[in-house]
Amino acid sequence: MKNLKSTLVLSLLALFLIGMVNPVIAGKKTIIFSTSEPTAKIFIDGKLMGNGQVEVVVLSNSCVTVRAEKVGFLIETITFCNKKESAKPPKSYYLEMHRDDAYDASVQTDIANIDIEIQTSLEELAAWKLMSQIITSYFDVIEVTDRETGYLRTSWVVQSFQQNTIRSRVIIKLGNSDPLVYKVKLVSEESRFPGTSVKSDELYREWDRVLRKFENIVEELRTRLQ
């Protein structure tokens, strides 16, 4: 009995000392974090911790950043702090995720950012006129056009969304004269910032999706130039 009491005293003393020596651990807070999308990936300070629902531990006098991601939805980031000067972390947090407007306005495709060869049986002048007509039905401005070299490039069309900016253009180059072949590239690029200037080339990267308003341009060129 005496040994049992001694053990209990020592255990309580150890717990007390842990709290005194390491108040960071003693003062930690736990948050049950969940999202409206059960398959959403949840990252804590950049590390993938689970899907849909996880426990978020915030040590005393520190902060953690939680990020939720799912294809087709906006990326959501929230920071929880456990400090005297900050609001007390909640015991639970429910995140309602919202659709990605850029995703919904586009389609995934294997024709983005690659040269696609289109052979035509039309005479060169007729083919050039028809291509120009088709291109201007999708793009308001042709930036460069040179029939002699068979080169055409539209100006960028820029559209800004909630979390990114998309810019699109078409480039046509002569691939071969006999038979007459043109190379068509639908350029689709993304910046991860809304409102990005079209001139900020360093902020854009190739996007494997194209805006829906341009998805049929290559097929129309292929069909009508036959």
Q: Is 6 helix (H, G, I), strand (E, B) or coil?
A: helix
Confidence bin at 14 (pLDDT 50/70/90): low
Residue with tokens 């930690």: 28
Instruction: Provide mean pLDDT across the span 150-174.
Output: 98
Q: For 13-51, give the DSSP string.
A: HHHHHHHHH-HHHHT-EEEEEEESSTT-EEEETTEEEEE
Structure token pair of residue 35: 């999202």
Interval 121-134: pLDDT, tens: 999 999 999 999 99
In sequence order, what are the residues at sequence separation of 6 or more whose Cβ sits closer than 8 angstroms to the Cβ of residue 140? 155, 157
* Residue of 226, 225, 214 lying closest to 154 (CA atoms): 214
pLDDT value of residue 21: 46
Q: Phi and psi dihedrals of 211, rounded to 5?
A: -65, 145
Q: pLDDT digit string (tens) for 166-214?
A: 999 999 999 999 999 999 999 999 999 999 999 999 999 999 999 999 9
What does pLDDT average to over the chain? Answer: 91
For residue 115, how many other CB atoms are within 10 A of its CB? 13
Domains, the chain, with CATH or none: 2-99 (2.60.40), 106-224 (3.30.530)
- The band of 13, judged by pLDDT with boundaries at 50, 70 and 90, is low
